[in-house]
Amino acid sequence: MPAAKTRVALIQMACAPSTEQNLDHACEMVREAARGGAQLICLPELFRAQYFCQREDHALFALAEPIPGPSTARLGATVREEKITLIASLFERRAPGLYHNTAAILDHASNGVDLIAGIYRKMHIPDDPLYYEKFYFTPGDLGFRSIATSQGPVGTLVCWDQWYPEAARLTSLAGAGILFYPTAIGWHPGEKAEFGEAQYSAWQTMQRAHAIANGVFVCAVNRLGHEHGDVVLKDAEGATQEIAGPGDHTPASGLEFWGGSFIADPFGRVIAQGSHGQEEILTAELDPALIEVTRQHWPFLRDRRVDAYSAITSRFIDTPFRQ
Amino acid sequence: MPAAKTRVALIQMACAPSTEQNLDHACEMVREAARGGAQLICLPELFRAQYFCQREDHALFALAEPIPGPSTARLGATVREEKITLIASLFERRAPGLYHNTAAILDHASNGVDLIAGIYRKMHIPDDPLYYEKFYFTPGDLGFRSIATSQGPVGTLVCWDQWYPEAARLTSLAGAGILFYPTAIGWHPGEKAEFGEAQYSAWQTMQRAHAIANGVFVCAVNRLGHEHGDVVLKDAEGATQEIAGPGDHTPASGLEFWGGSFIADPFGRVIAQGSHGQEEILTAELDPALIEVTRQHWPFLRDRRVDAYSAITSRFIDTPFRQ
């Protein structure tokens, strides 16, 4: 654990059709956060575009880029100038036909290209109506990681990962004291009235539980706004290309991203809470000493039954006596 | 999963010094629940005595009993008469010098002695000020189980287990659709004002998260009342023995068990909530169809990365590059 406290900022932002505009806007908000004192800053999942996974369209692979690549070059310059650590969720083109949903951790003290200290490739990939991620993203092959940064050991997981206690556990066991969850999650307009509150509550509850179970800080940062997945990008020749989202673009279609970013301390207390309705920079000062004190008072790691967990690698534990 | 709905009841009770009185009282409340329509009933952890683990005293091993034994004989008769399924948390004497914190599942349709359908021995054993359980209880050696009952496959975990996602996961993967957590958790009087709310919130949040992560019902049943751990029992010759609890027996000493039992559905919604202040029978009708519907809409089990979880059996994932 680092001895020093660190000031975290989560960039809860809305995403426009233009990928250039989103990158500009992200850099502006990052600078604003840094100038407000933030040292460790996280952007939402795939902030460079509207959430394009609302449909399966081969043309959208044009959004992918290498890491290092154009986004990390631009963001790295901001990281260097502001002397910060930044987590950026990007659509990674690893090889022709091989794409990942990847978080890059850039650190001003890193020796890596574009100041990249490490990357994490989203391990759990969803596939549900309007979240067709299995079409775009190959499941990650780097496992669960703790990345050394100037602000201490940091873990990054991405969106759907947040529903998996195994992911939070393994990242914490690898040494991370802060878990970041860049996210793009929202309500189906037709479901919001009946299920919206329960969905947000489940989402936050699950992640607060990761903080509690592991005695770590958890930072979840979500986009917000009603999107239909319209995309405007520059193609390989520099020409502007427009790829319209699916459906009729009424208030009843698309997804309403719910914002509601938050920061939880190692006992699951919410110490910063974002709204559902507006762009915000959420900040909190995180003291790594609180991790150790919490784990001393609630010594869950001490009593884990590591001799009895091996069946966690089973899909299901079938028995011939199952009812 | 059973096709039928089942009505669950949680017996939130206070425990007196007399072990005989507690058994009588438990049987009365179980009968009341059964006559109110409950089919699957759970008692709190170690309900036969005040929470004696507030100190380490060899005399208290006299509380332990075999399973099957006197408690299961008496409870089994109630189970037979009321045609129910009952989960009873007991201090098990397995062999001289070998004791467990064990949950027995009794089912009216079982062929077992005293109608015992299965047992679970608490796997995670705490040791904290006023919770000196490592002195009394050998860690369980049966692993995490799903027990077939007339009300469907049921999993039992006990108290400290509730902080471990691995325990809930493995019990769910074994097929249990309902997880029961008999519990004895309370506030230190000196801590309640500052930390009481956060402690209860963390306790409930963690268990709601087990429901969400696994798509199962979670039933947590706690005792309530301020206890100093006084015990009155009959010894081997039938003579009454009094073993006073430690300390000065003021309001500032002992433990205030917080009640607050609850039932959560497979999306983590609290569908029954107990008070902090009085004995109650909490009931809810649980529909196993909701498990399948919830798991179809939030298909977390589908996307688990069973290829990448093996390090869960590590105590910690040390690397030479750790900061």
Average pLDDT over chain A reads 96
Nearest Cα to Cα of residue B181 among B164, B201, B159: B159
Name every chain A residue with its beta carbon within 8 A of the beta carbon of B316: 173, 175, 301
Radius of gyration of chain B (CA): 19
Residue B323 is nearest to which of A148, A173, A310, comparing CB atoms?
A: A148
Strands laid side by side in the A186-187 sheet: A186-187, A255-258, A224-227
**Max Cα-Cα span within chain B:** 63
What is the per-residue pLDDT for B1? 45
Backbone angles phi, psi at A105, to 5 degrees: -105, 115
Average pLDDT for B16-21: 97
Average pLDDT (A4-15) is: 97
- Within 8 A of A322 by CB-CB distance, chain B residues are 153, 175
- A222, β-bridge pairs: A183
Residue B235 structural domain: 6-313
* β-strand pairing of A217-222 with A178-183: parallel
In a domain, A149, yes or no: yes
B75 compared with A322, residue with greater pLDDT: B75
pLDDT > 90? residue B236: no
Read off the pLDDT of residues A85-119 as tens digits, 9 standing for 90 and up: 999 999 999 999 999 999 999 999 999 999 999 99
Q: How far is CA A34 from CA A29, A85, A109, B241, in A?
A: 9, 10, 15, 68
How many domains are there within chain A?
1
Distance between B233 CA and the closest CA of chain A, angstroms? 31
The secondary structure element, H or E, covering residue B204 is: helix B192-214
Does the model's ipTM exceed the 0.90 cut? yes
Measure A314 CA to nearest chain B CA, in Å.
Answer: 6
B303 to A212: CB separation less than 8 angstroms, yes or no: no
Residue B24: the pLDDT is 98
pLDDT at A1 over 60: no
Which one, of B178, B126, B135, B131, lies nearest residue B154 by Cα? B178
Q: Which residue of A has its CA nearest to B173?
A: A316
Looking at the domain assignment, is residue A112 inside a domain?
A: yes
User: Where does the pLDDT of residue B3 fall: very low under 50, low under 70, confident under 90, or very high at 90 and above?
Assistant: low
CB contact under 8 A, A312 and B169: yes
Of B45, B46, B75, nearest in space to B231 by CA: B46
Please name the residue of chain A whose CA is at the shortest distance from the CA of residue B213.
A163
Distance CA(B157)–CA(B261), nearest Å, equals 15
Name the residue of chain B whose CA is nearest to A129's CA: B297
List the single residue in B with minimal CA-CA distance to A134. Answer: B303
Residues of B annotated as part of the active site: 45, 122, 159
Q: Which helix (H) or strand (E) holds B173?
A: helix B165-173
Does residue A321 sit within a domain? no
Confidence (pLDDT) at A320: 57
Distance, in Å, from the CA atom of B208 to the CA atom of B218, rounded to the nearest integer, reads: 7
What are the angstrom distances between the C-alpha of A81 and each of A75, A84, A85, A233?
A: 10, 8, 11, 27
Residue A226 bridge partners (DSSP): A256
Task: Please list every residue in chain A whose beta carbon sits closer than 8 Å to the beta carbon of residue B175.
Answer: 316-317, 319, 322-323
**Residue A159 is among the residues annotated as catalytic for this protein:** yes
- Residue A238's pLDDT band (boundaries 50, 70, 90)? confident
> pLDDT at position B323, please?
43
* Amino acid (one-letter) located at A294: T
Peptide bond into A44 cis (omega under 30): no
Q: What are residue B178's DSSP bridge partners?
A: B154, B217
Among chain B residues, the shortest Cα distance to A148 is held by B323
Q: What is the CATH number of the domain that holds B278?
A: 3.60.110.10
Mean of pLDDT over chain B: 96
Task: Look up A45 and say whether it is catalytic.
Answer: yes
| Mean pLDDT, range B7-13, rounded to an integer | 98
Tens-place pLDDT, residues A44-61: 999 999 999 999 999 999
Judged by DSSP in three states, A289 sits in helix
| B160–A303 C-beta distance less than 8 A | yes
Peptide bond into A246 cis (omega under 30): no
Contact B300 A163 (CB under 8 A): yes
Catalytic residue among A122, A133, A219, A256: A122
- Average pLDDT over every residue of B126-145: 97
In terms of C-beta density within 10 A (0-12 exposed, 13-18 middle, 19 or more buried), how is residue B174 classed?
Answer: buried
Provide the strand spans (E) within chain B.
6-12, 40-42, 85-95, 98-107, 116-121, 147-149, 152-156, 178-183, 186-187, 217-222, 224-227, 231-234, 240-243, 255-258, 262-264, 270-273, 280-286
* Phi, psi values for residue A190, rounded to 5°: -75, -15
Which H, E and C letters describe A126-147, residue by residue?
A: CCECCECHHHHCCCCCCCCCCE
**Res B216 pLDDT > 50:** yes
Comparing B248 with A313, the larger pLDDT belongs to A313
Task: Please name the member of B143, B303, B313 whose beta carbon is closest to the beta carbon of A160.
Answer: B303
How much is the pLDDT for B99? Answer: 98
Size of interface A-B (CB pairs under 8 A): 178
Enter the tokens of residue A221. Answer: 């940062």
Does B100 reside within a domain? yes
Residue A322 resides in a domain: no
A180-195 mean pLDDT:
95
- List CB contacts (< 8 A) between B170 and chain A: 308-309, 311-312, 317
Q: What percent of chain A has pLDDT over 70?
A: 98
The pLDDT, as a whole number, for residue B320 is 57
* Chain B residues with beta carbon closer than 8 angstroms to that of A118: none
pLDDT band, residue B266 (cuts 50/70/90): very high
What are residue A22's phi and psi, to 5 degrees? -65, -40
Judged by CB atoms closer than 8 Å, whether chains meet at B144 and A308 is answered as yes
CB-based contacts of B19, cutoff 8 Å, min separation 6: B48, B49, B63, B231, B232, B233, B234
Rg over CA atoms, chain A: 19
- pLDDT confidence of residue A318: 83
Do B87 and B154 meet the contact criterion of CB atoms below 8 Å apart?
Answer: yes
